[in-house]
Every structure is written in structure tokens, then in C-alpha cells.
Amino acid sequence: MVRFPGEFEKHSATLMIWPVRPGSWGKDPSAAQKAFISIFETILKSEDLYVLFNNDEPQKTIDDLSSRFEDQPFSFIPLRIDSNDSWARDVGPTFVLNNDEIMGIDWRFNAWGGDYNGLYQDYDLDNKVASLFCSKIGKNSVDRQNFILEGGSIATDGEGTLMVTETCLLSPGRNSDLTRENIEDYLCNALGAKKVLWLPCGIYNDETDEHVDNVAAFAGPAKVVLAWTDNIDDPQYNMSKACYDYLSSVTDCKGRKIEIIKLPIPDNPVLIEKKDMDNLVFEEGEDNREEGERLAASYVNYYYTNDSILIPQFGGNNTESDRRAVEIMESVSFGRKVVPIYARDILVGGGNIHCITQQIPKVIKEG
């Protein structure tokens, strides 16, 4: 029987990809790489970490990082697998359990919309990451290349309830030949789920067609953390209110009402600045940014490790918002340490901590 474990369950490891793409991380990617390294350090305190490097990455980069982390409690495992960018959540396998076997689902990746509204034109390497990674680590890969999906567009409680957004999964750039019912049936079959919760939307200006992982996350069975704002003049207000109203009206697959924990977005919008534009270099056909553009900043884009919760921090005029987010997550951490990570340089790339990480579940045998 296939089961898609909750992210808050035990991991055997995490998958990440070293950031180098100039259109996401700049011609000088050092600021983003510093943020990634902070995440590496926290993950390695409680689980193994696989990091993918392109084949043209200098060996010195890998050697220096391996040396840096050689005394960590868990293993830093570099692998050479080419990719177009660093969004491990979306291009890596979605790992499920089939009884006691870990399997990776290989969805089709089309850069968040393909010809309709994809963010870059060349994504062939990204689309091969899932199957190649499974092969490298000796896990079976389940071929689901007939279905377009990104890992950030689905969330699970681990007990048979999935959560998605209509704006993403019903986008013409995904599976336009399928109805909502077709998509729901496909996901339930592939992931061993019994019910899909369809949030109406996600985070304002989220270029992934509003992935669920930026607006809502399961903190446990029947418990959802929801991005929120009390500012009725913010464009996010009506979007979050619609999600809140929906979640308040439904039950999970076991008939339980959903407990909703509001996690406010930054009080002040996080914008693209001139220094960001001076660093970014876009290739032909790649979605460009503009100075003053509002980024889809959300604290819900956090990541569970075995002993911590890595939560984005944006700094600047959002210091108070950052502190508030940490305090709220500490109240629902269930013994995990909440670790703040300065992540604005990841956000400039188009996503955040959850988007660049992918958990590999741990098999826990009963008895």
C-alpha cells in the first residue's frame, strides 16, 4: 500500500541542489550560496544531506564544502547530476512509502507552465533529476512522466489527505486535458490518498501559479498553518481569507475539522531592489524581474528537519514580522527547535526554504 508521509514525520535524508543559475542567483551567487550553507548546517545536525552539483562545477567547490561539514553528526553527500536550477522540491522525486520500501515518483516538470507561462524554456535537465537521483541512491523510481506536477504544489498530512491550490493544478500550463476530477483521481492513485483539499489560491504574485507550499502547510493531522494578513488593503488579504473560509468549511479524509494556525506574512512587502537587478542575468526566454517588483514572501515556506523547523527571515523593516513568525511557529513546533534563516537572497530567486529542499522519509518498522 502506497503512503505519502507527512513532512513532519521522520526523514532519512534531505535533497538539495547547489545554486548557480545567473537568472535566479545572480552572476555572483555567493549571497544565495551563503543562505544555502546555513540550511546545510542545520539539516546535518539531525539527518543526512544529499547535494547535487552540475558536472561543470569545480571539484574544489565540492571538496571545500565536504571538508567544512566533515565533523557534522550526519553525512554530507555530494552527487554530480546536472540540473537547470536549484528547486529540489519541484524537480526532485516525491518520495512515498510502499509498505517498507521508499520509492521516488518522477513527475513531468515543465518549468511551472511550459509554453503557456513557464519561467524558462530549457528545462530538460531538471526533468531528468528525479529518475537520475533515485538511480544514484538505489531507490526505485515510479515513472509518472504523463502527469505534470511540482513537489511544491502538493502537501500531505501523512494520513491520506492532500492539499493543493486550484490556481496551480488547474492552470492551463499543467494538465489542461484533464478535469479537476481527473486530477484528483490521479493524485489519490499515485500518492495513496483518500481526499484532496482544494484551496482557491495561494500567495500574491507567486510565479508558480501559487503553489500550496507558500500559503499553507500541514503541522500535523487536521492542523494547517495558513499565511495571513489583517491588512484589508493588502492584495493578500482576500486571498488568505478565501483559503481560511474554505478550510473552515471542510474536513480531512477522516472527517476531522481543520485547526487553522494563522501565520502572518511580512508586514512590509519584500521588493526587488536595484542591487538585485544589477546582479541578475537572464537568458533568452527566461522570466525577467523588475526593480520594485513584489516578491511572494511567506513564512509558511518553512522546512521540517528531524529536530528543527527552518523558517525564513527577511530582515530590514520586517524584523518585528520575523520575530512574530518565530514565536508562532514555536507554539506549534512539537519539540522541534525553530531555527530562523535569513532567506531574502533565496526569495529573490523565486522561492524559499521549502522550495529548495526535498525530504526523503525514514522507514520505521513496527514491533
Which residues are identified as catalytic? 355
Task: Print the SS3 string covering the chain.
Answer: CEECCCCCCCEEEEEEECCCCHHHHCCCCHHHHHHHHHHHHHHCCCCEEEEEECCCCCHHHHHHHHHHCCCCCCCEEEEECCCCCCCHHHHCCEEEEECCEEEEEEEECCCCCHHHHCCCCCCHHHHHHHHHHHHHHCCEEEEEEEEECCHHHCEECCCCEEEEEHHHHCCCCCCCCCCHHHHHHHHHHHHCCCEEEEECCCCCCCCCCCCHHHCEEEEECCEEEEEECCCCCCHHHHHHHHHHHHHHHCECCCCCECEEEEEECCCCCCECCHHHHHHCCCCCCCCCCCCCCECCCCCCCCEECCCEEEEEECCHHHHHHHHHHHHHHHHCCCCCEEEEEECHHHHCCCCCHHHHCEEEECCCCCC
Q: Cα separation of 282 and 23, whole Å? A: 5
Roughly what angle, to the nearest 10 degrees, separates helices 30-43 and 59-68? 40
Query: 59 exposed, middle or buried (CB, 10 Å; 0-12, 13-18, 19+)?
Result: exposed
Rounded to 5 degrees, φ, ψ at 192 are 70, 30
